[in-house]
Amino acid sequence: MKIALVGYGQMGHMLRSVAEKRNHKVVLTVDTFAEDADFKPSSPAETAEKIAKSGAEGIIEFSHPSSVIDNIAALLPLKLPLVVGTTGWNDKREEVKKLAEKNSSYIFHSANYSIGVNLFYKIIEQASSLISKYDEYDCALWEAHHTKKLDSPSGTALELAQIVLNNMKSKKTIVTESFHERPKKEELHVSSTRLGNVPGTHTVYFDSSADTIELKHIVRNREGLALGAVRALEWLRAKIDESSLAPGMFSMENILN
Ligand SMILES: NC(=O)c1ccc[n+]([C@@H]2O[C@H](COP(=O)([O-])OP(=O)(O)OC[C@H]3O[C@@H](n4cnc5c(N)ncnc54)[C@H](O)[C@@H]3O)[C@@H](O)[C@H]2O)c1
């Protein structure tokens, strides 16, 4: 597939490398600042115009939360499959979905494109639902990341905690602070450690007086994120080509099911 990349920062470069390994051709890189990008736009309209002329058959957007909505609005009318990785616009999801439908276009978004993390979500969903039947099991989450990470707990830990709450009857609330009294049975403890260069690590514990079940996901590098985004574009392009999908907005749920 001929691909255009909007945003040629850390993820943009990783996307190029992963896309090329999968025999795609990056026909255009667009970035407002990056010196090594093919094109530096002064507006989203210019980005769209350049992509329209590039012969691209799909677009991947990893730019900045402040630019993403304007980029999406300019790119949807091109009617090319559009995969967006930029985060920070959850409150605009509905608006963007409607815009895609209005343009008879296709957009894909996930806040985490790692196939492994998305599989881990499913594994925790099944595990907590299964273990919920056995009252003797408690549950807690622990996550560790390098010291460059700004937020705590991680978005992934909170997503996992929500999955446990949705599936484990005994758990009703998330506690992210340290306890100064005995935890209540319905409290799900989510704790965080920040240490050196530790890669994103998420552990879910199910514990009874007889044993502990420990499920863990460890990120090795950002390549998995880029691979998930390229796979998402391949999926969208194939669905459009076989006319098996109505226009709208899609997520990793659609791929993994
Ligand atoms: N969904 C996921 O799985 C996932 C994974 C990693 C990063 N992200 C998100 O993707 C975004 C980019 O991450 P990154 O690590 O590549 O950041 P980065 O800062 O390395 O790169 C972003 C690039 O976008 C460029 N940019 C900003 N506005 C632009 C515009 N209007 N048009 C074109 N380019 C523009 C910047 O100049 C920069 O080079 C962030 O929002 C990050 O949180 C999402």
Q: Is the pTM of this model over 0.85?
A: yes
149 is catalytic: yes
Catalytic residue among 2, 40, 97, 149: 149
In the reported structure, the alpha carbon of residue 175 is separated from the centroid of ligand 1 by a whole-number distance in angstroms of 31
The set of residues, in sequence order, having a beta carbon less than 8 Å from that of 233 and lying 6+ positions away, is: 1, 3, 58, 60, 81, 83, 108
Exposed / middle / buried, residue 50 (Cβ in 10 Å: 0-12, 13-18, 19+) = middle
Model confidence pLDDT, tens digit, residues 73-88: 999 999 999 999 998 8
Closest residue (by CA) to atom 2 of ligand 1? 112
* Residue 214's pLDDT band (cuts 50, 70, 90): very high
| Cβ–ligand 1 contact at 142 (below 6 Å) | no
Task: Output phi, psi for 19, to 5 deg.
Answer: -60, -45
Q: Say what the pLDDT of residue 195 is.
A: 97
Q: Would you state the CATH architecture of domain 2-113+223-256?
A: 3-Layer(aba) Sandwich (3.40)
* Residue from 47, 111, 110 nearest 80 by CA: 47
In the reported structure, the alpha carbon of residue 111 is separated from the centroid of ligand 1 by a whole-number distance in angstroms of 12
Model confidence pLDDT, tens digit, residues 159-186: 999 999 999 999 999 999 999 999 999 9
The set of residues, in sequence order, having a beta carbon less than 8 Å from that of 245 and lying 6+ positions away, is: 106, 236, 239
Closest residue (by CA) to atom 40 of ligand 1? 86
Q: Say what the pLDDT of residue 155 is.
A: 85
> Considering Cα of 1, then 64, then 117, then 125, what sign does the dihedral take?
negative
Q: Same topology for domains 2-113+223-256 and 115-218, yes or no?
A: no
* Residue 150's pLDDT band (cuts 50, 70, 90): confident
> CATH classification of 115-218 is 3.30.360.10, yes or no?
yes
CA distances from 194 to 148, 191, 218 (A): 9, 10, 15
| Cβ–ligand 1 contact at 63 (below 6 Å) | yes
* % of the chain surpassing 90 pLDDT: 90
Let me know: does 248 contact 100? Beta carbons within 8 Å: yes
Q: Say what the pLDDT of residue 173 is.
A: 97
Q: Say what the pLDDT of residue 222 is.
A: 86
Q: What per-residue string of b and e applies to 95-128 under the rule 16 or more CB within 10 Å gives b?
A: ebbebbbebebbbbbbbbbbbbbbebbeebeebb
Q: Say what the pLDDT of residue 48 is.
A: 98
Catalytic residue among 24, 109, 145, 202: 145
Residue 16 clears pLDDT 90, i.e. is over it: yes
Model confidence pLDDT, tens digit, residues 24-35: 999 999 999 999
In the reported structure, the alpha carbon of residue 127 is separated from the centroid of ligand 1 by a whole-number distance in angstroms of 34
> Considering Cα of 25, then 9, then 195, then 173, what sign does the dihedral take?
negative
Model confidence pLDDT, tens digit, residues 125-137: 999 999 999 999 9
Domain borders along the chain are 2-113+223-256, 115-218
Let me know: does 63 contact 86? Beta carbons within 8 Å: yes
| Cβ–ligand 1 contact at 254 (below 6 Å) | no
* Residue 244's pLDDT band (cuts 50, 70, 90): confident
Nearest-atom index, ligand 1, CA of 88: 41
